Copies of this chain bind each other. A is one copy, B any other.
Amino acid sequence: MVRNLDVIAMGNAIVDVIAAVDDDFLLTHNIAKGVMTLIDEYRANHIYNAFSERLEMAGGSAANTMAGLASLGARGMFVGKVKADRLGESFATSLKDIGVHYATPFADDGPPTASCLIAVAPDGQRSMNTHLGAARELSPADIKKADIAAAEILYIEGYLWDAHSAKAASRKAIASAKESATKVAFTLSDPFCVGRYREEFLELLENDLDIVFANEDEATALFEVETFDEVLQHMGRWGGIAALTRSKKGCVVVRGPEVHVIDAAAVERVVDTTGAGDQFAAGFLYGMVRGKNLGDCGRLGALAAGEIISHYGARPEISLALLAADAALL
């Protein structure tokens, strides 16, 4: 089979709208500090209009991962729904500009392109208010079997389970991947997301996934255990590839009895940890599609995560390919 793509990713297509605010702003607008909250269109408009000096950047977890993969030199495609509006155009352009294929048809009506309104307080804490809008409308019709078959790996974000239609699209993609022997990778996305869909995620793990990404909070939530070591034992028995991230403690990569314990990359100053998990996945997946051993996949993940936390913003600022070459990981 000819694989023209390294990775095809599915996720919520979101534009981040960032503004500096003071604590009064958070109180006045009833924004919970430091967490991610799903909001409706009315509230999204309200907060958007209250922001002054907005900075807009294409975002979304899996889309950010594809940006990282592009920076490493991988051939990627993104599947996710925007509306034919200004933010939707901006999202599409951000991917095309860096060489990520993006061909999901724009929605012509319905809710606007998804936005994540990020209020940054004086102490640096980020309060995220996400309106999923058009992203929820991703549907099985948007999944092309030929695209899945063209890729080595299908990568799906767990956040898609929050919308019925997007989940159905994910299920169709997984079925297609099995037909074409495309490997299926999945990120648990968020501990609250795991809480909402724990049983379904466990079934996915058992029946459908080849590779799973999880941070410590997500993984302990999945298995309902207290310690990282219990997660490790569960994943070892599972037998697939688990890439488990632990913030400053680095990562642990498991495939049955094979275990790698890898330190976090040395970073001079941690500026903003947003998107560290997304870029870890980018580095790791890049290692996989280039046939690296699991240890080097983990080291590539750590390298990419280290770049992203050393500056603001969730997409790489410098070439990850050059960084990886410097670290002798290419």
Q: Is B227 in contact with A263, judged by CB distance below 8 angstroms?
A: yes
Q: Is B252 in contact with A261, judged by CB distance below 8 angstroms?
A: yes
Does A232 sit at the interface, judged by CB under 8 A? yes
Interface of A is mostly: mixed
Cβ 8 A contact of A260, one of B232, B256, B257, B263? B232
| Best-buried of A232, A249, A261, A262 by chain B (most CB within 10 Å) | A261
The interface bits of chain A over 98-137 (1 if a CB of B lies within 8 angstroms of the residue's CB, else 0) are 0000000000000000000000000000000000000000
A298, B233: Cα distance in complex, Å: 14
A108, B263: Cα distance in complex, Å: 52
A228, B236: Cα distance in complex, Å: 20
Does A295 sit at the interface, judged by CB under 8 A? yes
- Point out the residues of chain B lying under 8 angstroms from A249, CB to CB: 249-250, 263
Does A24 sit at the interface, judged by CB under 8 A? no
- Point out the residues of chain B lying under 8 angstroms from A256, CB to CB: 257
Does A259 sit at the interface, judged by CB under 8 A? yes
Q: Is B295 in contact with A260, judged by CB distance below 8 angstroms?
A: no
A252, B298: Cα distance in complex, Å: 17
Cβ 8 A contact of A261, one of B228, B257, B295? B228
Min CB distance A295 to B, Å, is: 5
Min CB distance A12 to B, Å, is: 32
Which residue on B lies nearest to A258, using beta carbons? B257
Min CB distance A280 to B, Å, is: 16
The interface bits of chain A over 246-276 (1 if a CB of B lies within 8 angstroms of the residue's CB, else 0) are 0001101000111111110000000000000
- Point out the residues of chain B lying under 8 angstroms from A236, CB to CB: 259
- Point out the residues of chain B lying under 8 angstroms from A203, CB to CB: none
Does A229 sit at the interface, judged by CB under 8 A? yes
Which residue on B lies nearest to A256, using beta carbons? B257
- Known A228-B263, A252-B261; further 5 A-B contacts with Cβ < 8 A: A229-B260, A229-B261, A233-B295, A257-B258, A259-B259
Q: What are 21 inter-chain pairs, A to B, with CB distance below 8 A? A: A228-B261, A228-B262, A228-B263, A229-B260, A229-B261, A229-B262, A229-B295, A232-B259, A232-B260, A232-B261, A233-B260, A236-B259, A249-B250, A249-B263, A252-B261, A256-B257, A257-B257, A257-B258, A259-B259, A259-B261, A261-B261
